[in-house]
Structure 1
Amino acid sequence: MSRAAPPSRLIAALLLAAAVSVVGTGPAEAADSTVTVNLAAPGKTPTRAGAGFLYGLTQNGVGPADSLLQPLRPTLFRGGGARIAGHGWLGDGYRAGTGYQVRVTSAIDQARRVTAAPYNATYHLLVSDVWGADTEQPANTVYPCDNGDCTNWRSFITQLVTDVKASGVRVRYDIWNEPDGTGFWPRGVNSAQYYQMWNTAVTEIRRLDPAAVIVGPSYSGYNHGWLDAWLARTKADGTLPGVLNWHFGNDPLADSNDAKAIMSARGVGPLPMTIDEYLFSQQQQPGYLAWYLARLAPSDVSAAAHAIWSDCCTAGTLDSVLWNGQPTGQWWVYRAYAQLTGNLVAVSGGTGVAATAAVDQGAGRAVALLGNQTGQTGTTSIAFSGIPSWLLSGGRTRVTVQRIPDQSPLAAPIVVSSADLTVTGGALTVPVTMVSGTDAYTVTLGNPIDGGTGGGVSVVDANAADFTYGTGWGLTTGVADMYAGTANWSHTAGATATFRFTGTQVALRAVRDVDQGRMTVSVDGGPPTTVDNYAAARNASGVVWTSPTLANGQHTLTIVNTGQRNPASTGINIALDRADVTAAAPPAVIDGNDGRFVYSAGWGLATGIADMYAGTANWSFTTGSTAQLPFTGTRVALHAVRDVDQQIIAVSVDGGAESLVDNYAPARNASGVVWTSPVLAAGQHTLRVRVTGTKHPASSGWNVAIDSADVTA
């Protein structure tokens, strides 16, 4: 149901039902399982079907900021002004007054932003929201077609469609939200009055706008019987929608297959299908979200919208995917989901877990996004097969495992590991230890996605190869409250350990307890700092010391057992748990059409281009035309199209010498890096691109097409 919350008693009942039927009561240790990812079986282009939001925007549609919204590459938004003061058409006494106007203005403002470039998303206008059915209706409400009178309802539809058409914004009409007794429509599911209301609206919308797309029935959950009856009746009445939709459900793949079977049996369609609300409140965490997206990928559902259970309805938090204007774990799952580009590949296996995966030669990587439905922990192995040769260098490929914890806010995913691993016979198996049942994970072969080796925090177990131990150290395994279950310990004065890392900061985690001693820590031969690990109560994995911010690069941390102790301590033990390494922030991605690029005359814009960032290309074939990007940072990389019809460009920074870049290529690469600047002094700079009017002899055209730029801070 729409998260314009129904009465509290109904919420409690629904949450209880969901808790019993959908999600377990807590994390459970599961037997190891294997998910197989076949990179040699590329399928359809990723549709980002799950990248949708119910009441995700601010009232006027300007929030959240593009920097938080564009990276998710959303495809669907849904709204209609629910809970905005004035109560819509209903609150105006069943006419178009100020209450109606503020709601329709909000919906049009939101739709205008997200249906235009760079989003080019779809907006489902909740007609019942504008009317006033957002669960705050008074008890004496006169609903559409009460006593068989649909006159006022028809007048409302006429006013709404007329106003939307006058705005010039294209929306899809979602006629009535959850018409099955959930507080939005108390006149009965599939009742005679409901069909009067539905048929009147469909007929009037199509009379006023024959090209309009209508969405329905928007039941609060997938229900085979309701949907079967509804399709039979609306087919008979000639009022079938353009899009078939529903909310929630246990498995989007199973539900969509069932809906297709009903349509086939009834001689309907096939109609496009959407799930306009998904995830109950207890499911709104990275692990379950990633599982749901994985189940959505092989289905025929074209779009789905994340549901809202708080912040309703104009907070601009993307249904609480943002926390105080900052990304959460769910946001990072959607960010990883947006980076599943190229082609989806075949995925199978797993117990209680699911993954969606894609391979993209242009991006130089293959990515698997892993989640789980049951809140389980344990180890899931990702078995890659059919690994293409372009992902290999010397028989090895870079493998990056990232953990996306259920945190609000979350600055970046945690890099669990990143290493070059050997591929044998085109196959490689990567074990993923699921620390928490609410975590999601990504496993990337090749160039890391956001939060990979170019940014975020890497967790390095103290028993990893990057730690080196001298004499006087031992290892204990099976320690339940320590990372990876291991403790590297010493009770010998002078015993030394070193940790080599690459990054900008390191935080050391060690045991604090009643028997722990004192140690010194230092970085790169600098002055040592004494750390007292005594504590009256045990903390096996807390941060005991954090370095200052360091220059990005290679460093060495040295730990020495001093043989000394706090007077209250019973021993001189030192036990290392792990280190958290902060890497340099990943480059900021600037779309060629986000307003920061400044174009001279002679440039045009193309939208809806699936293989380019944000779906846009800024193009020119006019000699002498220029594009400039002012930026602040230390380096910039330009992404542009390389193809059979591209010409040569000249690129420079800060008015310096130009570098000629030939964008001709016998095969298309729409978003690869074509030029990278040298390292620059930190500060403000300007990138300049000039159309030269020259080309490779083999090129068939004179085109230049800018995709985006990566700016390193």
Structure 2
Amino acid sequence: MRSTLRFPRFRRAATRAGVIAAALGAVIAGSSVPAEAAGLTLTVNVADVVRPATQVAAGGLYGVGSDSQPTTAMLLPLNPTSFTQPAPGTTHLGNGATEPCCDSLDVGDNLIRAGAQQFIRMPDIYPSFPYQWQGWADWESKVRKQVQDRLAETDMTNIHGWELWNEPDWTWNTNSAGSFNEGWARTYKLVDSLDPVTPIVGPSDSYYSHDRMVSFLTHAKATNTVPDVIVWHELTDMDWNNFDDHVRDYRAIEDSLGIADRPIAINEYNSLGQMDIPSVALHWMAVLERHGAREAHRAYWFEAGTFDGLFTLQNQPTASYWLYRWYGAMTGNIVETTPHSWLDGVASYDASRKIVNTVFGGDYGNNTVRVEGLGALGSQVRVQLLSTPGSGRHTAVTSPTTISTTTMAVSNGAISVPVNNMDANAAYQLVVTPVNGPTTSWQQVYEAENQTVVNANTFGSGNASNGYYVGQIDNNTDMRSDSFVDFTVNVPQARSYTMAIRYANGTGATSTHGLAYNGGAFSTVSYPPTSGWAQFSTVNVTVNLKAGYNMIRLAKGSPNFNGGTGFAELDSITLT
């Protein structure tokens, strides 16, 4: 294993302050791209499922500035998973800002409409970075106020973690506050006494360290303060090369200490110099999907409220936006990709529409994408190839470039697509469908496991339409623990649609969920018993949707809903 302690501790006292004035908008290539190469092959195996498509890497730190920056309409095509936003009542002035922004409770409704969750970064109640410690009485008063403010927001359903501190490996004031491990335990117990429901996440070190993680988890286990979600940051150039080692090392520490597996969140990823290079973000997408992160957030090096450079300051899409939009369109399952040198990618397969969507990049020259396992798409397929350039966050890119649209013969279930004159900074999309296009003109089947799943869990089953379903949708106590699935759907016209809900109900009696869409009133959906759990049947309801994006919630519990009865599992919905 490569050393996990070798990364420079340059940190951001010198980068978060004044970076805008440094005018780092131009792409800084340097070591971010390989020496010129060609003749490489990225292999995509449609038959080898990695996980359900959930856009693991589609999140940001300080990515949303207000209820309208970016607007919900701008966020929806990116299918964002989650964000880290600052504390309620924040006074933080990040990256040269002259006034605070991005308060987690102020932006919460915008994120809910976009189907995203959020962590609250508690120490960003302080104005400066690195934080200026004011004593334990001051800190605990601030913590109490934050939790009380959150609990007062009884309709805010998307707070899924308290981040107790940020980068304690260099921002924690040991001389004044004592050891971080003791400070973590003290703060954890205070937050837990005020809010025993919302998960607690950490330790949020600025880089992965074996020794620090062992010390932290040993103390946390001894004090019964192990975080519900493990967080660290990946901020060094080309750190994607080490992410698999970090995950393996962390899991080995859990096993050695007898700690049950925790979800992993990387709530800051990508380096200062490489932030605006689409192919670098692509490398991060690939390893985060491949090696088991639950969620990950683009780092906040520059302006807040731009989804960390996916939009310009004038709210126009950048080159990187198109990469994340292609990624946001992934449905069905993430499937295996095998990189070759610097050429890497992420791919999905949606069996309901027979679409293979691959985003890739990372090397120069004339290369190839080989797609295997295409038997279900027929003897010929339509192949569309697009690109987005390597420009930075200050350059608007109104649309991607279509390189080619061709028909190719499938041989032994595979095609090999030449991609010539590749730019190692750019990113590319390859879309493969049956020769006449997708089997439906618009997305009609929405798998529950691809959606925003809150206080419930995803399970695998051969009976499920995509191999997975959502179960344990059990809670209806309050906004912190309510269980529901939010489906983001995109329909071609405003009208009534029949929505077929594929469900399982093993209780032996009729169960119910609440149904609401686009923030409207709830109605009740009834689920007659099926032959058992993960034994699916269908009920039909009618929904009146607007043209474009709509948010449909199926809930055991939710604000403004009294709560469902019994229990039910969700496999998918189909709109016709």
TM-score by length of 2: 0.69
Q: What residue ranges of structure 1 are gaps of 5+ in the alignment?
A: 16-21, 89-98, 145-149, 454-586, 593-605, 620-626, 631-637, 646-698
Q: Which runs of 4+ in 1 moved over 6 A?
A: 9-12, 102-105, 587-592, 609-614
8 Å CA contact 1:56–1:319 kept in 2: the answer is: yes
Is 1:403 the equivalent of 2:387? yes
2:263 is aligned, of 260, 265, 272, to 272
1:245 Cα deviation after fit: 0.5
Q: Please give the alpha-carbon distance, in whole angstroms, between the structure 2 residues aligned to 1:707 and 1:387.
A: 34
**What is the correspondence of 1:494-573 to structure 2 with a 5 Å cutoff?**
none
8 Å CA contact 1:118–1:607 kept in 2: the answer is: no
2:405 aligns with: 418
Partner SS, residue 221 of structure 1: coil
Q: Please give the alpha-carbon distance, in whole angstroms, between the structure 1 residues aligned to 2:426 and 2:166.
A: 32
1:131 Cα deviation after fit: 3.7
1:159 aligns with: 145
Pair 226,364 (structure 1): closer, same or farther in 2 beyond 3 Å: same
8 Å CA contact 1:591–1:614 kept in 2: the answer is: no
1:338-362 per-position Cα deviation (integer Å, ceiling 9, x unaligned): 1221112222241112111111122
Q: Please give the alpha-carbon distance, in whole angstroms, between the structure 2 residues aligned to 1:640 and 1:229.
A: 55
Amino acid aligned to 1:404: T
2:62 is aligned, of 50, 55, 60, to 55
Quote the sequence identity (%): 25
Aligned length: 450
**What is the correspondence of 1:432-511 to structure 2 with a 5 Å cutoff?**
432-446=419-433
1:437 Cα deviation after fit: 1.4
1:494-546 per-position Cα deviation (integer Å, ceiling 9, x unaligned): xxxxxxxxxxxxxxxxxxxxxxxxxxxxxxxxxxxxxxxxxxxxxxxxxxxxx
Pair 412,299 (structure 1): closer, same or farther in 2 beyond 3 Å: same
Partner SS, residue 282 of structure 1: coil
Compare relative contact order (CA 8 Å, sep 6+) and give the higher one, 1 or 2: 2
**What is the correspondence of 1:133-282 to structure 2 with a 5 Å cutoff?**
133-135=128-130, 141-144=132-135, 150-168=136-154, 169-170=156-157, 171=159, 172-181=161-170, 184-187=171-174, 192-248=178-234, 250-251=239-240, 252-282=243-273
1:355 aligns with: 345
1:205 Cα deviation after fit: 0.8
TM-score by length of 1: 0.56
2:324 aligns with: 334
Partner SS, residue 318 of structure 1: coil
1:303 Cα deviation after fit: 0.4
Pair 443,700 (structure 1): closer, same or farther in 2 beyond 3 Å: closer
1:329 Cα deviation after fit: 1.2
8 Å CA contact 1:118–1:614 kept in 2: the answer is: no
Q: Please give the alpha-carbon distance, in whole angstroms, between the structure 1 residues aligned to 2:76 and 2:330.
A: 15
1:153 Cα deviation after fit: 2.4
Is 1:40 the equivalent of 2:63? no
8 Å CA contact 1:618–1:706 kept in 2: the answer is: no
Pair 434,204 (structure 1): closer, same or farther in 2 beyond 3 Å: farther
1:109 aligns with: 106
Is 1:65 the equivalent of 2:49? no
1:274 Cα deviation after fit: 0.3
Pair 34,589 (structure 1): closer, same or farther in 2 beyond 3 Å: closer
8 Å CA contact 1:5–1:11 kept in 2: the answer is: no
Pair 397,29 (structure 1): closer, same or farther in 2 beyond 3 Å: same
1:421 Cα deviation after fit: 0.8
8 Å CA contact 2:42–2:340 kept in 1: the answer is: yes
Amino acid aligned to 2:412: G
2:283 aligns with: 291
1:398 Cα deviation after fit: 0.2
Q: CA RMSD in A?
A: 4.1
Structure having the higher Rg:
1
1:386 is aligned, of 370, 373, 380, to 373
Q: What residue ranges of structure 2 are gaps of 5+ in the alignment?
A: 1-7, 23-28, 459-465, 470-484, 504-536, 550-576
1:8-35 per-position Cα deviation (integer Å, ceiling 9, x unaligned): 59999xx9xxxxxx96165521142112
8 Å CA contact 1:180–1:186 kept in 2: the answer is: no
Amino acid aligned to 2:387: R
8 Å CA contact 1:51–1:73 kept in 2: the answer is: yes
Pair 25,160 (structure 1): closer, same or farther in 2 beyond 3 Å: closer
1:297-335 per-position Cα deviation (integer Å, ceiling 9, x unaligned): 122210000012111x3xx21112101211111111111
1:118 Cα deviation after fit: 4.4
1:615 aligns with: 487
Q: Please give the alpha-carbon distance, in whole angstroms, between the structure 2 residues aligned to 1:10 and 1:63.
A: 22
Pair 210,103 (structure 1): closer, same or farther in 2 beyond 3 Å: farther
8 Å CA contact 1:589–1:708 kept in 2: the answer is: no
Amino acid aligned to 1:360: D
1:371 Cα deviation after fit: 2.6
Is 1:75 the equivalent of 2:111? no
